[in-house]
Structure 1
Amino acid sequence: MRTLCASTLIGEFFVIGFAGLVAMKNPDLSMATVWTVCGIAMVLSVLLCGMITRPGGVQLGWALQLGLIASGFVVPMMFILGVVFAGLWWASVHYGRKVDEAKARFARQETAVAAATGPEAG
C-alpha cells in the first residue's frame, strides 16, 4: 500500500505546486498567502508518504484530497484534478491493501513450505 499511496502523493505534490503558479495570477491573493497554503499542502503530501502505514495516515490523506478538491474555488481546474486524485487515492488504498494481503499470504505459504521440507532442503 505504501508504494501506491506514495506515488499518488508525489503526483499531488507537483499538481499543488503547479496550481500555486496558476493561483498567483489571481489579483485577490497575495503571493505569500498562495505559497504558504501551497507550501503546507506540498510538505504534507511528502510527509504523508512516510506516514501511510501509521495510524491516521490514510485519514490525513483523505483530508488532503478534500483540500485539493476545495482548492477548486481558487483554481477551477482543481475541482477536476482533485476528484481525479481522490479516485487515485481510493484506488491506491484499496488495491494497496489487497497487494499487502497477497504478499502476507504468499510469505505464510513460503514459511509453511520451508517448515515442511525441513533441513534437508538446504
Structure 2
Amino acid sequence: MAKLTKAQREWRPGMPRKRRSTKVMFASTVLLLEAFVMFFATLAVFGLRRGEFPPAVILGVGIALCVVMIVACAFLTKPWGIGLGWILQLVLILTGIFEPAMFLVGTLFAAAWWYGIRTGIRLDREAGERAREQAAWEAAHPEEAGPG
C-alpha cells in the first residue's frame, strides 16, 4: 500500500481545498527562469572568459547558483523565503561583473520579481476576500449553496 502524505491522511469528504498562493507561484516562476538564464550565462562566461578564470570555478559557481535558485523555490512559503529571493536577485545582477550583459538581465529579472511579488500579494488578498464573502453567503443561504 502506498504511503499517504499528511494532507492525504487528514483529508475528509467535503473539506475545501487549501488555496495555493499566487505570490509563491509567480516567485517560483521567476526563480526557475532565472536558473535557466544563469545556466546559459555560465556557458557564455565559460566560452568567453576561460583564460581569465579556471573552467572548474566558472562551471562550479554557475551551476551552484542555478541549483540554489531552483532549491529556493521550495522555501518561498517560509517567512524568510522572499528575502532569500531578493538576495538572489542581487546576486544575479552582480554576475554582471563577469558578463556585463547580466547587469541588464539581472535588473530586468529583479523588476519581474518585484512585480510578481507585488501582484501576487494583491491577488492572494483579493482571493481571500472572495473566499470569506462566499463562505458568509453560503452560511446565510444554506438551502441555495448546495453540496461541496
Give the TM-score of the pair, scaled to structure 2. 0.79
Instruction: Please show how residues 69-88 of structure 1 align to structure 2 within 5 Å.
Output: 69-88=93-112
Displaced runs of 4 or more, over 4 A: none
Deviations 1:91-120 (A, max 9, x none): 1111110011011111101100110002x2
Aligned position for 1:95: 119
How far is the alpha carbon of 1:40 from its aligned partner?
1.7
Q: 1:9 is matched by which residue type in structure 2?
A: L
Aligned position for 1:20: 42
Q: Which has the larger radius of gyration?
A: 2
Q: Pick the structure with more helix per residue.
A: 1
* Structure 1 stretches lacking a partner, 5+ long: none
Q: Percent identity?
A: 33
Aligned position for 1:6: 28
- Aligned pair 1:66/2:90, yes or no? yes
Instruction: Please show how residues 100-111 of structure 1 align to structure 2 within 5 Å.
Output: 100-111=124-135
Mean Cα displacement is larger for which, 102-111 or 32-41?
32-41
How far is the alpha carbon of 1:81 from its aligned partner?
0.2
Aligned position for 2:58: 34
